[in-house]
């Protein structure tokens, strides 16, 4: 009887952790989308030269992000606690890589802006 209660309790904890992770992902999916604008305020739309510059900057910065990602330590863990730790480490790594991308793009003349500041449509 005691083992059955422990199994049920473990199932509830795992279910709650899974639900929590789903809600976090759902609520913060936009947090992982970076939108860049030129620091000088020029609009890139319809300007092939500015679009080409943006593509070049993006390619350079993608390389830096890839290099940073390749230098990250592999993540290993076991069990429920390990799975939760992996999720936390992955979130930290994702945030670090976003900062690398934002910093590189800033060096290239582009700033991160919130999605709420983008024109509608």
Return the pLDDT at 26: 35
Please tell me the distance from the alpha carbon of residue 8 to that of residue 28, in angstroms, as a whole number.
30
Q: Where are the domains of the chain?
A: 33-117
The answer to whether the predicted template modeling score (pTM) of the entire model surpasses 0.85 is: no
49-64: pLDDT as tens digits: 999 999 999 999 999 9
The per-residue pLDDT for 119 is: 67
Q: Given this model, what pLDDT does residue 8 score?
A: 32
Q: What is the pLDDT of residue 86?
A: 87
The owner of tokens 């860049």 is 36
CA-closest candidate to residue 100, choices 76, 65, 69, 70? 65
User: In this predicted structure, what is the pLDDT of residue 121?
Assistant: 53
User: pLDDT digit string (tens) for 22-34?
Assistant: 333 333 445 556 7
Q: How do the pLDDT tens digits run along the chain, 121 residues long?
A: 333 333 333 333 333 333 333 333 333 445 556 789 999 999 888 899 999 999 999 999 999 999 999 988 888 777 888 888 888 889 999 999 999 999 999 999 999 988 777 666 5
User: What does the pLDDT read at residue 13?
Assistant: 37
- CA dist., res. 81 & res. 66, Å (int): 28
DSSP state of 33: -
């Amino acid at each position: 009887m005691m083992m059955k209660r422990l199994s049920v309790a473990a199932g509830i904890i795992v279910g709650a952790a899974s639900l929590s992770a789903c809600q976090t992902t759902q609520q913060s999916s936009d947090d992982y989308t970076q939108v860049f604008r030129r620091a000088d305020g020029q609009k890139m739309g319809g300007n092939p030269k500015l679009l080409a510059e943006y593509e070049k900057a993006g390619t350079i910065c993608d390389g830096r992000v890839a290099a940073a990602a390749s230098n990250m330590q592999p993540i290993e863990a076991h069990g429920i606690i390990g799975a939760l730790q992996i999720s936390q480490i992955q979130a930290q790594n994702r945030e670090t890589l976003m900062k690398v991308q934002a910093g590189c793009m800033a060096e290239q003349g582009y700033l991160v802006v919130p999605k709420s500041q983008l024109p509608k449509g």
